[in-house]
Structure 1
Amino acid sequence: MFTIEHEFDATVVTLVDEGSTPLQEDVVINSFEECITVEQYDARTDSMQKITLSIAQMRDLVAAVNLPEGLYRREE
């Protein structure tokens, strides 16, 4: 399951793990004009963990999901 919310400066997608146990914490993806952030709560450290991707990195990730193993370069 996932939700999509449009806020003032970002689009927020939340991914909820509904599978069988062990379930993972929700993943929150914030899409800003200049970057994408991915956040997930880490119970071991009792804190949110965050990574930041450039828009180009996110485009590469989306393209990579359906490609076979290999080295690729996206053409603009």
Structure 2
Amino acid sequence: MFTIEHDFDATVVTLVDEGASHLQEDVTINAFDDCVTVEQFDARRDEVMRITLSLAQLRDLAMALDLPEGVYRIQKDTTPDKT
């Protein structure tokens, strides 16, 4: 299950882990004009862990999900070239 909210400065997507066992904490993705943050509560540390991705890193991640193992560089036409 997930939710989508449009705030003043970001779009917020929350991913809720549903299932019978081994559930993970919710993941919150905040999409801003210049970056995306991914947050998840870490119960062992009792704090929210956050990573920040640039829009270029997010683009690369989206492309990487559909590519085989390898090293790639995105060219200006956004076609991945295997290096």
Q: Unaligned 5+ residue runs, structure 1?
A: none
TM-score by length of 1: 0.94
Q: 1:19 deviation in Å?
A: 2.9
Q: What whole-Å deviation, never above 9, does each CA across 1:14-71 have from its counterpart, x for those lacking one?
A: 1111133100000000000011000000000110000001000000001101111011
- Looking at structure 2, the residues matched to 20 and 75 of structure 1 have their Cα atoms a distance apart, in angstroms, of 43
Q: Which amino acid aligns with 1:55?
A: L
User: Which has the larger Rg?
Assistant: 2
TM-score by length of 2: 0.87
RMSD (Å), alpha carbons: 0.8
Does residue 59 in structure 1 map to residue 59 in structure 2? yes
Structure 2 counterpart of 1:73: 73
Give the number of the structure with larger relative contact order, counting CA–CA contacts within 8 Å between residues 6 or more apart. 1
After TM superposition, what 4+ stretches of structure 1 lie above 4 angstroms from structure 2?
none
Q: Unaligned 5+ residue runs, structure 2?
A: 77-83
Does residue 41 in structure 1 map to residue 41 in structure 2? yes
Report how many residues are paired.
Answer: 76
Structure 2 counterpart of 1:4: 4
